[in-house]
Amino acid sequence: MKHFNCKVLTALAYLILALPGNLYALQFHSNSEGIITHQIGHLFFLFSMVVLMFIISGKGLAIHKGWRLIQVSAFFFILWNACAITVHFLDNQIYAVSVERLANGYARIRTQNNSSLLGWVYYGLKLDHLLCVPAMFLMYKGLCCLVDEQKAEKGQTL
Amino acid sequence: MIAPYLPMVVIDVLGSFTMVVLSLLCCYKAGILRETDRDNALFLYLVWISTGFMIFAVSRAFGHILMQFLILTSHTDTWQMIAAFSGSVNTVSFMLVSLITLFFNQSWKMNEKILRSRKKLEAAHAQLLSLNQNLEQKVVERTEMLTSSEHKARRIFEYSLDTILVTDAHFKIQEINNAGIVLTGYKKKQMLEQNMGLMDFIAHAPDWNCLLQQLNTNEYVLNEECDILNADNINIRVLISGGVDYGAFGCAKTFHFIIKDINEKKQMEQQIAQADKLAALGELSAGVAHEINNPLGIILGYTQLMLKQASEFEEDLKTIEKHVKNCKEVVSNLLSFSRKGSRKMENVDIHNMLNGVINFLRNHSDFRKVQIQLNLWENECLWVKGNAQELAQVVLNLMINACHAIQDNPAGFIELATQKENAHILIHVRDNGTGISKQHLPRIFDPFFTTKPVGQGTGLGLSVGYGIIRNHQGDILAANRNSPGAQFTIRLPLVNTNSNEE
């Protein structure tokens, strides 16, 4: 058996080294693949947050303040994801907006067709932390409420 | 369009930092929540989701702060190189959060299952607790019942007036109650140490063989009558009932016996039978005596009339007169026995009467070699309603019989004692003679029964005495003493002393 394996390996080495040719098995990945993956990630995140909101309602957990706050937190994360998807779409996919930092603490926002409205919308969307920080804060408060409820329940039991 | 750049930078940096802080706080709170109930799958889910958010926040904050730093320090090219990596890590982190989030439903189901299992477990625990409490209660109740039952059984065993005896399979005594100790006269310790058995107490071997045979055949005996030999070598008549017991687990064979002392009852029955027999004999004797007395009177009268005239048959007539007189005496005795004789009843001082009897006997030749002990009740004078002569005759007769029983024994003695027992006086006549044989004892008061040779006694002395005492509402009993000799006891009702004084 050992002798047979050696023969097979020798034959394979010969075929690889002595008979080279074009290889088409590996797929080529373009530059845009990264941003699409990122966008799909955001969509997945958004979808999961929608699911979380509905499940909390569906399971009747919304009667608890803690879960209600987590539900609102999920809603803010949905908004944040939507915001992030839009920004990435504008500047990384269709290149409709670009930002150039100026020396005096200002930035020039260039938009297609010089649309001022699009510029300000983009500027607003770039401040996405105004959505994700409250979302995270609501998540924290929700957990705080759940801890308090749980402790109160334990205290009653005791 | 121109817009302020600083707000974008500040919000980006501060927001990133705040996200990190808040995510860490979320992890901390989720950890506390998990600690409150480690079996809750939803809390575990919140720990995981908080951890996911923390990874997401840290990776994103790192990317954003680095980006702002590099751009502000004019290293835009460097950022361009890192941006792809930062973005990828960021993508992976929030995809991780998304994945964890989608596990909510499974976590919920797991939690439901855990809660159901916990409820079932709690219900089972409560049921088990209840069962345990019931069991404890039942154990307490059964223990009380068992203790009560044991107490009753022990009380019956200890305080029974009949002997209760437990033996092993070889009839060796294992347990015996106080009545048994009194009956046998042995101490319990002695019986156990000497490994005594029931067979050691049965007086006659055939009785024991009969008991053994019945036990082997039927595994029980019921009211078998036999004699028990006690520690003082006295036979006691008993009824034995008993049976086999194989124990609670059927492997420890023992015998349980109940032994009933019927000695007194037997004696009483014998006395009653004796009294009935003597009463019947008395009736018969009275009838016969009455019928014979009249012809004897006529014969005696005519004989005496004929003797008044000189005749060649004078000697024959005197012989007839002598034997007729003997016959009349016998008839008179028979009448005394049957209580048909006439007598004068008065208050009799018993001690006075007995002293008279003793004084008379001391002068009698037969009593000179006999020691007579007189133990009279010293506390008070004892009076009975009766005929002093008849009573003296009875005592005299008993004393003479006692003297004959002693025969020529130089250490012979006769004790005459009185004793007060409630409203009766007991007069004991005891001797250390030959005693009364067992077969003679039931017939000793029968008329004409005598153990003396023919011609030496009529056999009417005791029967006449019996008749006299019965006529005085009293009893006379005969028995053998434990030591050699016999004892006769006369029991007479006392009269009220006050009425006597009047």
Strand partners, B237: B227
Predicted confidence at residue B499, as pLDDT, reads: 47
**Which amino acid would we find at residue B496?**
N
Predicted confidence at residue A22, as pLDDT, reads: 60
**Is the pLDDT at B497 greater than 80, yes or no?**
no
Sign of torsion, CA B360 B365 B368 B369?
Answer: negative
Distance (Å, rounded) from C-alpha A126 to C-alpha A109? 12
Q: Which residue has the tokens 């019996």?
A: B466
Predicted confidence at residue B501, as pLDDT, reads: 42
Spatial contact of B311 and B317, defined as CB atoms under 8 Å apart: yes
Distance (Å, rounded) from C-alpha B171 to C-alpha B251? 16
Contact call for B29 and A116, based on CB within 8 A:
no
Spatial contact of B328 and B294, defined as CB atoms under 8 Å apart: no
Q: Is B423 on the interface with A (CB under 8 A)?
A: no
User: ipTM score of the complex?
Assistant: 0.81
Q: Is A141 on the interface with B (CB under 8 A)?
A: no
DSSP E strand stretches across B161-318: 163-167, 173-176, 220-229, 235-245, 254-261
Contact call for A37 and B101, based on CB within 8 A:
no
pTM reported for the whole predicted model: 0.49
Q: What percent of chain B has pLDDT over 90?
A: 31
Q: B82-96: string of b/e by CB count within 10 Å (b at 16+)? A: ebeebbbbbbebbbb
Strand partners, B3: A107
Chain B contact set for A154 (CB, 8 A): 36
Among A88, A53, A48, A82, smallest CA distance to A67 is for: A53
pLDDT tens for the 158 residues of chain A, in order: 566 677 888 888 887 777 666 655 666 666 677 888 889 999 999 999 999 999 999 989 899 999 999 999 999 999 999 999 999 998 887 888 888 878 778 888 888 888 888 889 999 998 999 999 999 999 999 999 999 998 888 776 55
Predicted confidence at residue B411, as pLDDT, reads: 84
Predicted confidence at residue B429, as pLDDT, reads: 92
Predicted confidence at residue B454, as pLDDT, reads: 66
Tell me the per-residue pLDDT of B205-223, one tens digit each, with 9 for 90 and over: 999 999 999 998 998 999 9
3-state DSSP assignment of residue B344: coil
Task: List the single residue in B46, B92, B98 with the smallest CB-CB distance to A48.
Answer: B98
Task: List the single residue in A52, A132, A144 with the smallest CB-CB distance to B101.
Answer: A52
- Residue A89: DSSP 8-state: I
Q: Which long-range contacts (CB under 8 A, 24 or more apart) does A92-98 make?
A: A92/A35, A93/A32, A93/A35, A93/A39, A97/A122
**What does each C-alpha distance from B495 to A56, B191, B386, B424 come to in angstroms?**
115, 49, 10, 9
Give the residue from chain A lying closest to B26, CA to CA: A140
Average pLDDT value over all residues in chain B: 86
Q: Is B10 on the interface with A (CB under 8 A)?
A: no
**What does each C-alpha distance from B324 to B265, B293, B327, B331, B439 come to in angstroms?**
45, 10, 5, 10, 34
Contact residues for B15 (Cβ-Cβ < 8 A; gap 6+): A128, A129, A130, A132, A133
Q: A86-115: string of b/e by CB count within 10 Å (b at 16+)? A: ebbebbbeeeebebebeeeeebebebeeee
Distance (Å, rounded) from C-alpha A57 to C-alpha A59? 6
